[in-house]
Structure 1
Amino acid sequence: MLLTDSHCHFDFAAFGPDSGTERAEHWLRAQAVGVHRLVIPGIEAAQWPTLPKLCAAHNGLYYALGLHPWWLAKAESALEKTNSGLANAALDWPSELTAALERAKDDPRWVAVGEIGLDKHLPLALEQQEAAFITQLKLAIEYQKPVIIHSNGTHDRVLKWLRRYPVIGGVVHGFSGSRQQAETFWQLGLHIGVGGTITYSRANKTRQAIAALPIEALVLETDAPDMPLSGFQGQPNHPTQLPLVLSALAALRQTDEANLSLQLERNVERLFGW
């Protein structure tokens, strides 16, 4: 069975330094269990020039470019200092992101705008987060790319902006919410990212939502090295765990793993235009 990890932070230090063989060895381990593609989401400006190079060095790696809400405060602070004359050179992140997307527009490894979104647990005001989210939704529309969305306690607000700025598709990463919310995302063309959350019995609401959705709405992910599966708490997550997510999903939906994997591959291919 061939599987695609639709959300893996494979450029993080947990997978080794940028130079050397360690990262390549991690990728070989993933391929050995059937993971033949993964998408690396962009989270901050420092990645925007490096992700294309990483993905060009390894077959099967693809990338997204975006500014994650967790890194937004840093970028906004730099921009404010620049505008007030308190710094000689700092990041104007909207311009830098636009330039990065323009450089990537002919690269087949660039598949999405993301990781973008909202997080109610951040100290940064939601209004500021929403302004950045809207900026990036507009860029996704301009470049006709799907989005990879981070939504933590903000599903209804994210849905509000998706209705106002309809993108061509995307995925709600690490979904944790109700069946109604999941169905509404799917109605707007957003797939639901299924990862380690469904391996926890306490995540009953999310498990019920995933079990009830059309299979066409789902894609697999690990969020490695984060979001460890049940039984692996305290250990770095890894794309080699993706078959365990598939097994958990097959058990939850009471279906055959082989047929399920084929449908999930069709879903992710449709989503990212492969």
Structure 2
Amino acid sequence: MKALTAAQVEAYRHDGFLFPFPALDEGERLACLAGLERYERWLGTPVPRAENKWRTQPHALLPWYADLVRHPRILDVVEDLIGPDILVWTGTFFIKEAQSPTFAAWHQDSTYFGLEPYEQVTAWVALTDASREAGCMEVLSAHGVLRQMYHSALRLENSINRAGQTITEPLHERGAVTMQLTAGSFSLHHTLCVHRSAPNRAAHRRIGCGINYIPAHVRPTGPVRMAAMLVRGRDRWGHFDLYDPPTVEFDTARHADVFERYSENYRAQVERHERQFAPEKA
């Protein structure tokens, strides 16, 4: 173990989440915020108002985000959960403006990813305080039984998630844990972890960076040949086309390729999920 105790690993296996952990010192955090400011100046608009593609796969576009996904304090914790050969599958900005109605309904990250086995873990890094008031994540313990649940892509208004997806089978919400994070810290949740977040009622932007890590042996189930970034260890399986971290900001050609593959797979997985669960809905 590099960062976790056996008890912490067991807690993660049982609940499907674990928090909080320190990631960034103040200088690193401010550097990330400065990078985000440059990015939004380049976009000409805040990330939440930009096209969806500009909030997804930023580690293929922004060197500072690529540095974040390779931060050793994050990777040491992730390695204790999924092993030493680690890929970044996707990254996403999760930004809620101050006093905004943006929210996320109960959902699981795994639903439209199309990855097997279910071993992906998300590190959610807070660049500003993610308090209850600011609309931090809430999670439900899996109680040792992680399973895929049925979702509908409802295109919910003000949803921070791309498809506005939500779990549409019965769900027991009692015992939800509020994962409050101070700026510079991060949480972890399993791809099958049920979670949501409320609107931001605080006076500051809630800025989070979601980083989806997978062990290199995880494979895509769909027809799309996808891309990933190797951030630790080796890739002995070759399930993804690997790409190097960007060295200059706004490498749009690389980002476009990574994003288009991801989007094509996402659309296919929405359809697959509907087909898979259709008999249960009838």
Q: TM-score, structure 2 length as denominator?
A: 0.24
Q: TM-score, structure 1 length as denominator?
A: 0.25
Report which of the two has the higher share of helix.
Answer: 1
**Which protein, 1 or 2, shows the higher relative CO under an 8 Å CA cutoff with sep ≥ 6?**
2
Report which of the two has the higher share of strand.
Answer: 2
